[in-house]
Every structure is written in C-alpha cells, then in structure tokens.
Chains A and B, each alone.
Chain A
Amino acid sequence: MNTNDRLAEILAVHRGREGALLPILHDVQAAFGHVPEDVYQPIADALRLGRAEVAGVVSFYHDFRAQPAGRHVIKLCRAEACQSMGGSDLIARLEAALGMKLGETKGDITLEAVYCLGLCACGPAAQVDGQLIGRASAARLEALVAEVTA
C-alpha cells in the first residue's frame, strides 16, 4: 500500500473526531516510522487547518520524528530519580560503549533521552525497543542491546 492510500485510511478512521490531529499523527508515525512532511497538506485539508498549523503541532511534540529512527530505539531516563541512582553515569557509559551520544542514530540504533518512565522507585530506568528495564546497569543494557541487534 502506498503512502497516500495508507494516509487516506488513517484520515478516514478519525473523520469527525473531536481534536483528531494528535491521534492522526500518532497513527501516521506508527505507519511510517516518522511524520513525513508530505502528509502535512493532506492532513491540513482533512481537518480544515493550514499546513503551518499541522507543521507547528508536529514540531511541538518530542514524540513526532521528522526522520525515521533506527530499527532499535534505546531510551535512557535523564530525570532526577534516575540521576539519584547513578543514571548520568549509566548514560555516559552506554554512550561510550555504543560510540554515540543521546539524540543520535547510528546504523540500526537510536539512542535517546526520556524524561521519566514512571519507574522512579526502581531506577535507573531504560527502555529498549519498548521493553522497560528497571535497576538498569551498563552491563545489563549492553548485553540487551547486543541481543536485540544480533
């Protein structure tokens, strides 16, 4: 199915819904891995908005990606509760091990910050391809990354 057909399908599902833009953008990202610029105009037309309004919403929210992420996404929590359990050190060690910084995509892997996963009593916390990890250690995360990318 091409992009236009899939987009038309998504727009049809949400037709008439109150405040449909965020649900539409979530579905677009789930379908395409990111929110490509060429969907702005059709979405704007469907919701009777300006293209700039759609672009403004996409750019406001951290979740919506302008480029697809790597096949594997590793999120490391930077928030205070995880910092208190050595989260900053964990981030530094994983950055060194993977040879990349938070916010970068290298090959198959995207490494990024997350601001709280609600695992504040079992930090430091991480998420590897959707799987939540509490009491995370660099060794455990490196092993897990090796496992999923193998």
Chain B
Amino acid sequence: MKIWVPGDAAAKACGADEVAAAIASAAGLRGREVTIIRNGTRGMVWLEPLVEIEVDGARHGFGPMTPEDVPALFEDGTHPKALGPVEEIPFFARQSRLTFARCGRSDPLSLADYEAAEGWQGLRRALEIGGSATIEEITASGLRGRGGAGFPTGIKWKTVADADAAQKYIVCNADEGDSGSFADRMLMEGDPFCLIEGMAIAALAVGATKGFVYIRSEYPDAIRVFEGAIANARDANIIGPALLGQGPRFDLEVRVGAGAYICGEETSLLNSLEGKRGMVRAKPPLPALEGAFGKPTVMNNVLSLAAVPWIMAHGGPAYADYGLGRSRGTIPIQIAGNVAHGGLFETGFGLTLGELVNDIGGGTASGRPFKAVQVGGPLGAYHSDEDFDLPVCYEAFAEQGGLVGHAGFVVHDESADMLALARYAMEFCAIESCGKCTPCRIGAVRGMETLDRIAAGDEQAIALLQDLCEIMEKGSLCAMGGFTPYPVRSAIRLFPDEFTPVREAAE
C-alpha cells in the first residue's frame, strides 16, 4: 500500500510530519505493509496535510488530516476526511498545470520519477536544436518574467547570448520575499529538477557554464531539497562536466540570502551574491551585459525558468495558446491570506479577480464579508470588489494603478484596518530599504510618521502623504520605494473614510 504525505513546508507547518508518523505506527500495529512517500504539495493548502492513497489506479485524497484521523484510513467504511480522487477536486481540475504539472505527484528527489514524467525532454530538445533555436522557441512562447517585472524572457536571453564574454552566468532569483507568494518555494520543494532543467536550458541557450540559485534563508526546506536535487543531478551526470553526458559544461550552486527583502530586486541580489551589501545598482548597465561578477548574466525568477522545460518539450506556440492579450501562457497564482481555499492555482492569464476570490478561493476563511485583496506582494495595490471584473494579466492591472507582480493575492475580510495596512506598507519599506536613494530611505520613514498624524486626526496630512507618494514613485531607484505608494494610495482611494477619522465630540 502506497501512501503519500507531503513533505512541503506548508504541509509540515500544518502537521504533516506528525501525520506521517501516525501512519507508520498505525500500519505497524496492524501489520500492514505501507510505503510512505513524502511528495511535494498539490498546492491545495487548505486541505493540508493532504494524504493520498492509491485506490484502483487513482489517487484518493484525505484532508486536512490529523494524527487522530489516521486509524480510520485502515478501517472499512467512508473516511470522514475523504475527498475522492485528488485530481478531480474542482480547485485542481480547473487548473492548467504546465509549470506545476509534476509538483505534488511524487518524491521530489526521485530522478526516476522525474524522467518518467517528461523529465529532461525539454533539455534534450534544446541540445538537439541548439542555442539560437532554443531562444526562438522561448520568444515564440511569449514568456515574460514571472518575478513581477514581466520582461520578455526571450529578449533577455538573446541579449546575453549576443554578448561576447569568456564567462556567463545564469542566476535564479529565488528570494521570494513577497507576502502572499509561495510558488517558488513550492516548486523548489516539490519539483526541483524542473528548475534545474530550466536553468540548464537557459545556460545552453546563452552559453553559460555556471548557475547560481539565490534562495532566501527563510526557506530552509527549499534549500535542503534543492541542494539534494543538485547533488542527485550531478551524481547522475545530468549537470556537471557535460549536460546529460553529451552537452557543454554546466554546474549549479545554491547561495543563501540573509534576511533582506530588497535582495529580491535583481541588482541588489547580484551585489549580495558577490558578497556585498544588497544595495540596488543603477541601470544601465543591464545585468544581461554586466551582471554577476561583471559578466553577462541571465537573471530570471524561479517560475520563469521552471516554465521553460514545458515550453521546450511542447513548443513555444503551445504555451502561447494559453493567456490573454500580451500576457501569454499560464500564471501560477497564489491565493493567500483570509481565504477559504488558499493555495496555488495555475491557469492561463485572463481569469477575473472576482472569479479568483469567490469561485476559486471560496470567499473569506472567516466567513465575514470580503473587503480587499492585495495583489503582487507588499508593493502591490489593494483592490476592492469594484475591480472584480479585472482580468489577471499584466496590462489590466497596470492600467488600474496596480500590478500582478509575482501573482500573490492576499485576501482581507471586513475587519482589515486599511490605515494600519497602509502604515505597515511604509514601515516595511523603511525596514527593508537598502538606503541607496533618498525617496525610499527617508520617504518611507516620513510616510509612517505622516500616517500616524492622519491616525491622530490631522486631515491636512493626507495631502502631504499623497505628495510624498508621488515623490517616492517618481524618484526612487527601484520598485521598493517606487511601488510602496501603490498599497498606500489604493487604500486611501478605496476606503477614504478610514483616513479621515471621525473626531470624538468635544466634551
């Protein structure tokens, strides 16, 4: 009997290790032969720990499991936590899982499982058709940077490929610091070979021989699993002196961040990688031409690189068949916060915000009325139900003064204190600013103070705050100071009453 119990950090945080131990002991007591597989997560986080058991060739789900629910798994009758075939759960069945096709299905460190599920097909094809045809394929897919900026990946790769240098690098940005985002973590923990394959294809395409994956220190499980995957891939001669034993050299190394949100900004990450303070660099020069250690560098997010194996295996046009307008392909949406069905939902661009919050997310977790959803992390705007018709794509959100970013959607119910959240946005910027440019370094502190004045009833401070937001947006060097005004201004625009406190009547 095979039983899958996710080893993903979110599943473990909800008690998966205790459930796995209970299964082992319950099976032992009953003398049942059980193989427990620690898979990645399917991404239905509200059902975690989500245990799966194979019944007549289909994997049936049970969750959210507790150790007390375990004995009934071995008894006759319908289990109270039975969910039926796991891939038929509507949240799962409605998705277009391309990047996350394998995630949650098997042991993330099993090369045999990876190989059996289309693993290395994209890399094999890239080796066959060569670097420039690979870049053409990525360009044809319409893939844009999934880290948030949405820059066309094919163009970035071509710039690096055309640069003349003895050494080039692939750097994967796995510094996933946005609240509401966990797709990078989930992929690295659930299907790490997919990222390795994407990086290897990128290396082949541009002529790089070395790759770095910069993972934030807050992700110890991702670091452990990914390092294990690198070791396994190296031992199997998939990476190392010759890609798949026949191609050029490519090796990989994990670098661990040190608790600085700003290092998710690409130039700051490069400085950090080089062993410096994570200060933002002015652009130009572009990292594509002068990136890591001054060499031409492909700098991509985990999700951009992890989309690449599917694109290479199935063709760029097949990927571009998904999506809306200039936002092509699929986007791994992360539904988080106060939401009934939180988790990862990969789908073509174009789903509306309302569908996402209500149909997919199932409304708030608390059952209280929905108030706002923050899209794109701490630098993203708040949206109310007025925006529920907005399709999830880069252009539509930009037009509304917001951003899709890394596609984290954080839902808040009616209890949300928008002034407190706006103040938090400024406080977070003050804590995490690298300090290089004045609008961000000083502006964020002044923003906190101004919001405190507003909270104390100083209505004139609102105009001052708006002015400050404009300076931060237009004058900051990077998105940290530049986008911190988004949540602040959107909160004021949507909920003006909360920023003009009713004064207590004079006694």
Contacts and interface: CB of A to CB of B under 8 A. Distances in A.
Interface of A: 18-23, 25-26, 47, 53, 56-57, 60-64, 78-85, 88, 114-123, 125, 130, 132-135
Interface stretch (B140-148, B235-243, B304-312, B407-415): B407-415
Contact of A62 (B260, B273, B275): B260
Contact of B276 (A18, A21, A82): A21
Nearest to A125: B13
Contacts of A61: 257-260, 278
Given A81-B180, A85-B337, A122 B48 contact: yes
Interface in B320-367: 334-339, 342-343, 365
7 contacts: A18-B293, A63-B217, A81-B180, A83-B424, A122-B45, A122-B342, A132-B12
Contacts of B421: 80, 83
Contacts of A53: 276
With a 10 A CB-CB cut-off, give which of A19, A120, A125 has the most chain B CB atoms: A120
Contact of B272 (A22, A26, A47, A78): A22
Contacts of B411: 84
B340 to A, nearest CB: 10
Which size class do B's interface residues fall under? 35 or more
B175 to A, nearest CB: 11
B247 to A, nearest CB: 23
Contacts of A60: 260, 277-278, 434
A80 B374 contact: yes
9 shortest A-B CB distances, which residue pairs?
A121-B342, A21-B275, A79-B179, A134-B13, A61-B258, A120-B336, A62-B259, A121-B45, A84-B337
A120 B432 CA distance: 19
Interface in B425-471: 428, 431-432, 434
Interface in B264-285: 272-278
A25 B260 CA distance: 14
Interface in B149-204: 176-182, 185
Nearest to A20: B275
A133 B421 CA distance: 23
B256 interface: yes
A80 B373 CA distance: 10
Contacts of B293: 18-19
